[in-house]
Amino acid sequence: MPEISRFFGIIITIYWKDHGVPHFHAKYQEHRAVVAIEDGRLLEGSLPPRAMGMVAEWTTTHRHELLKDWELAKAQQPLSPIAPLE
């Protein structure tokens, strides 16, 4: 489970063996969510509203980098870290 970013207690990962639409996993405390990279929509799970807002902002800012990491993950290559939300 490669971690690509961490900010305000939120951990962002992309799994090498995932399939389907390009997405990432966000973890905050006991909450888990799967978020589509292309449009930021919630695919599974939930996060508290404030955490989800931060994830949405981060996704918009780093969409291009996320898509690059998705392609690397599909090729089972090492992922690149992505700057946290500041």
Residue 9 domain flag: yes
Residue 82 domain flag: no
CB half-sphere exposure, 23, CA atoms < 13 A: 16
Residue 11 domain flag: yes
Residue 12 domain flag: yes
CB neighbours (10 Å) of residue 82?
Answer: 20
Q: Tell me the per-residue pLDDT of 7-44, one tens digit each, with 9 for 90 and over.
A: 999 999 999 888 889 999 999 999 999 999 999 999 99
Q: Tell me the per-residue pLDDT of 46-73, one tens digit each, with 9 for 90 and over.
A: 999 999 999 999 999 999 999 999 999 9
The secondary structure of residue 56, as a DSSP letter, is: H
Ramachandran angles phi, psi of 57, nearest 5°: -65, -45
Q: How many domains does the chain have?
A: 1
Range of 62's domain?
3-74
Residue 31 domain flag: yes
Q: How far, in whole angstroms, is CA 26 from its chain's centroid?
A: 6
Q: pTM here?
A: 0.94
Residue 79 domain flag: no
